[in-house]
A = this chain, B = another copy of it.
Amino acid sequence: MQNLTTKQEAILSAIRQHIRNTGQSPTVREIGQAVNLKSSCSVQKQIESLERAGRLRRSSFKYRSIEIIGEHSQQSHIIDTLVIPLLGRVAGGNPIEALQESDPELISLPTSLLPRVDQNRQKKSCDEQNFSKVELFGLRVVGRSMIDVGIDDGDLVIARQQSSAQNGDIVVALVEDNEATVKKYYREADRIRLQPANDAFLPIYSRDVRILGKVALSIKQF
């Protein structure tokens, strides 16, 4: 990391601040105003220096396209983020569908933590662009029936919406009485077993289980 002149440091700082304040990079003249350079050309030269020094990049010939290199730009992380609706509570509550209609709280999580999402389904909705299509959804857990896998009362679980599951998957399921619950899924001869992860709880046996999703993540707040 080379030494920069104080003027160049001031320019970098002005760019950072402008991006932070307005969400976009400044123009050459805005930089000039910020660092007290009267001519846009002076700024231009300094910017070229900073580019040669590898501290800046202009992504194209468009306006306001200066990026600062080597610092974590907001962009890079934001892009890899998915917005997930928090649909309600499970185990002892209402079915999830009822909760979908309202205006759910939203949280954004980095894709690096989340399971792969089917690219086609994402693409398909690119035009219509309801971009938090409920592919992933969050639920607040009530009860301690899954304590042995580390899911406790009050934890947040993020599930991927799917209607089938494999043995051993932790699923969000809807049982006969329209109650949503988080359990381990096992298909038996003529029925489904929803197995708690807590010896104090008994499994639920049912032929009429609707899988809402597979738990991908659980988040515990201390």
A residues whose Cβ falls under 8 Å from a Cβ of B: 13, 16-17, 20, 23-24, 63, 72, 74-75, 77-78, 81, 83, 105-110, 112-113, 126-129, 131-132, 147, 150-152, 155-156, 170, 214-222
Contacts and interface: CB of A to CB of B under 8 A. Distances in A.
Nearest to A74: B78
Contacts of A216: 221-222
B113 A156 contact: yes
22 contacts: A13-B127, A13-B128, A17-B127, A17-B129, A20-B129, A20-B131, A23-B75, A72-B132, A77-B81, A77-B83, A78-B81, A107-B113, A109-B109, A113-B219, A150-B155, A216-B221, A217-B220, A217-B222, A218-B219, A218-B220, A219-B220, A220-B220
Given A13-B128, A16-B129, A78-B78, A108 B108 contact: yes
A81 B83 contact: no
Given A105-B112, A109-B110, A217-B221, 13 more contacts: A17-B127, A20-B131, A72-B132, A78-B78, A78-B81, A81-B81, A107-B112, A107-B113, A147-B150, A150-B152, A150-B220, A214-B222, A215-B222
Contacts of A108: 77-78, 81, 108, 110
Nearest to A13: B127
Binding site secondary structure of chain A: mixed
Nearest to A80: B108
Contact of A107 (B20, B75, B110, B129): B110
Contacts of A106: 72, 77
Q: Nearest 10 CB-CB pairs, A to B?
A: A150-B150, A16-B129, A107-B110, A77-B108, A218-B220, A78-B78, A219-B219, A150-B152, A108-B110, A150-B220
